[in-house]
Chains A and B, each alone.
Chain A
């Protein structure tokens, strides 16, 4: 395959590389440089200040507050989502009682999959706006139900004690279905006779899940964890549209902090880029940590 390959290589590779270089690579590189300046936006004035932005960052209570919320998301969203995903996927792929060893799905598995997965194809904007109405203190679905059974009706997104948890719940709600399908597909690849054999040996469902399903799904769980962790470090759209970080910054996240610093009332581009750099290293370390911590041999079914 040598004859005349260079015209193809050049014409196939150069246009994508130029596009990538101009709109992706150069902004990322510039961001690191901007993060060491005091650039205030639309003026041309930008003086290098070294690492001063990062020093300010260390003592910025708003940034720490936002990072704390991201840390809570990071600790809870992947765990809850993966647990629910594994639970429902197990029920769907082997909750049924057909056959003597009972490792078939429940009735209506296809319908459940169809329904569960749907939030994944919805725009996050639609999810955020819809749930904002569901949490509405007067006309919302949630308080309508609470009032009907005589319970007090909280203000949910309007209360600094609950706003953040409401957003967290929506994050889990919108992700679970995807992981049910993902884990379900991986579970179906596990040979049935393994389950049949251990069931005959008297293993209970819990033992089967812990000793067989989860070890065999470990690769998939690991990938799920990385993606959910990266999603937990973001959360920007949900928070911006549901609470704008309030009330009183109680549901703020680092992405929103950066966005408001750059494009809010004051355009502190230098400082915003410094926050961006911090986000970059956070994302990178979460991914590397997850890959390191969960490293295992890949399993192939012969």
Chain B
């Protein structure tokens, strides 16, 4: 706390000065109106596009074209049905869920085991291997795109969900390992030593003792990885070309937008976007605290 020491006079806290307090309050009153104005403005800027999207998804195409700010005359839920079946948003949703379920499981399993070894075991070359692993965080994924395309193709995994699962996991590992290694290091060693003395094997120790102790860290990095896998667009666009029935949601929405350009079906596009946003919104509102903590912790480490 070196920076602040000069500015703080400890005596001032214990003996509040009543006279100086009054103009201060007036200043705060003005600031309060002023700050609320800006805060509300930004809140409106954030909410308005989303509300507009939902309302537009319930309008007819002619209503959307005639008056972008108008309310729907009747609730055209058929837009949603059209997006779900004709534009295959339902199918893409399912595909994304399958891919993310696989990739998230793999990332967390491999990330936790590797991080545990880096954090808790001594062996020759540990530092080198660790930095080699974690260094992957620094590289822009664009650099790898061209060779990755051929690596995946020659492994026979081009255009398959397995390919996407393996690639998502591989690219999430550096950060996951980095984050979890730091987390495992903070856990107390005495529990582990006691368990080993009691005859607990190394594997049992990890799955029965260390993994449950690392739960908060696993949840944080899990939320972070879930969102980045669910929202992935670049990797599937390169590695999942062709067969439309296997596309993930982000690709499906993009295709829907491209088709809308030709067919002029705005309502269907808005319905597709709304369908994609709603589950995210529900999960976000229910787990707001964990999600915000998880994502900000991810960025700070």
Interface residues of B in 27-45 (CB under 8 A from A): 27-29, 31-32, 35-36, 38-39, 42-43, 45
Bound CA span A272–B145, Å: 9
Question: Chain B contacts of A26 at CB under 8 A?
Answer: 147, 151
Partner of B146 from A122, A129, A272 at Cβ < 8 Å? A272
Q: Does A71 interact with chain B (Cβ within 8 Å)?
A: no
The answer on a CB contact under 8 Å between A194 and B4 is yes
Q: Is A65 an interface residue, CB under 8 A from the partner?
A: no
Question: Interface of chain B, helix or strand or loop or mixed?
Answer: helix
Q: Which of the 9-residue segments A10-18, A48-56, A74-82 touches chain B?
A: A10-18
Is A157 part of the contact surface with B, judged by Cβ < 8 Å?
no
B222 interfacial by beta-carbon distance below 8 Å: no
**Does residue A97 face the partner (Cβ distance < 8 Å to B)?**
yes
Contact residues in A for B273 (Cβ distance below 8 Å): 126, 129-130
Contact of A19 among B170, B192, B257, B295 (CB under 8 A): B170
What mask results when residues 1 to 26 of chain A are scored 1 for a CB within 8 Å of chain B, else 0?
A: 10111111100110111011011111
CB closest residue in chain A, given B173: A20
A100 at the interface (CB under 8 A from B): yes
A40, chain B: closest CB distance, angstroms:
12
Residue of B nearest to A273 (CB): B146
| With A1-B193, A17-B129, A133-B269 as contacts: A216 and B3 at CB distance below 8 Å | yes
Contact with B along A168-184 (1 / 0, CB 8 A): 00000100111001100
CA gap between A196 and B36 in the complex, in Å = 22
CA distance A301 to B8 in the complex (A): 14
Q: Is B121 in contact with A30, judged by CB distance below 8 angstroms?
A: no
A181 to B299, CA, bound (A): 12
B171 touching A4 by the CB < 8 A rule?
no
Give a binary string over A252-280; 1 marks a CB under 8 Å from any B CB, 0 the rest.
00010011001100000100110111011
Bound complex: CA A202 to CA B19 (Å): 11
Contact partners of A27 in chain B: CB under 8 A: 144-148, 151
In the complex, how many residues of chain A place their beta carbon closer than 8 angstroms to a beta carbon of chain B? 119
Contact with B along A112-129 (1 / 0, CB 8 A): 111111111111111001
Bound: A25/B173 CA distance, A: 12
Return the chain A residue nearest B40 by Cβ. Answer: A112
Of residues 119 to 159 in A, which have CB atoms within 8 Å of B's CB atoms?
Answer: 119-126, 129-134, 138-141, 143-145, 148
Residue of A nearest to B163 (CB): A23
Instruction: Please state if A8 and B231 are interface contacts (CB–CB under 8 Å).
Output: no
A12-B117, A121-B291 known; A23-B254 Cβ under 8 A: no
- Complex formed: what's the CA distance from A88 to B285 in Å? 21
B84: CB under 8 A from chain A? no
Query: How many Å lie between the Cα of A177 and that of B284 in the bound state?
Result: 14
- When distances are taken between beta carbons in the complex, the residues of chain A under 8 Å from B116 are 12
In the docked arrangement, what's the CA distance between A239 and B120, Å?
44
Task: Tell me, yes or no, whether B69 is within 8 Å of chain A by CB.
Answer: yes
B211-248 contact mask (Cβ, 8 Å, vs A): 1 or 0 = 00000000000000001001101100010000000000
Chain B residues whose CB sits within 8 angstroms of the CB of A129 once the complex forms: 253-254, 257, 269, 273
Is the CB–CB distance between A115 and B43 below 8 Å? Answer: yes
Residue of A nearest to B110 (CB): A16
**B48 contacts the other chain (CB 8 A):** yes
| Cβ A283 vs Cβ B138 within 8 A | yes
Task: Tell me the minimal C-beta distance from A46 to chain B in angstroms.
Answer: 11
Question: Does the CB pair B65–A138 fall under 8 Å?
Answer: yes
Q: 3 shortest A-B CB distances, which residue pairs?
A: A144-B68, A23-B170, A30-B147
Beyond known contacts A130-B49, A276-B143: 18 more, CB 8 A cutoff? A1-B120, A1-B192, A5-B202, A12-B114, A16-B173, A19-B173, A24-B136, A24-B144, A25-B132, A106-B32, A121-B280, A121-B291, A181-B296, A182-B296, A193-B8, A200-B21, A237-B233, A283-B138
Tell me the B residues contacting A by CB distance below 8 Å.
1-4, 7-10, 12-13, 16-17, 20-21, 24-25, 27-29, 31-32, 35-36, 38-39, 42-43, 45-50, 52-53, 56, 64-65, 67-69, 110-111, 113-114, 116-117, 120-121, 123, 129, 132-133, 136, 138-140, 142-148, 151-152, 155, 166-167, 169-171, 173-174, 177, 192-193, 196, 201-203, 206, 227, 230-231, 233-234, 238, 249-250, 253-254, 257, 266, 269-270, 273, 276-277, 280-281, 284-285, 288, 291-292, 295-296, 299-300
29 contacts between A and B (CB under 8 A): A1-B120, A1-B202, A4-B202, A16-B173, A17-B133, A25-B132, A31-B143, A34-B146, A88-B39, A97-B32, A102-B24, A112-B39, A117-B291, A122-B277, A125-B231, A126-B277, A129-B269, A133-B266, A134-B49, A138-B65, A178-B295, A181-B296, A182-B299, A199-B24, A237-B233, A255-B142, A272-B145, A272-B146, A280-B143
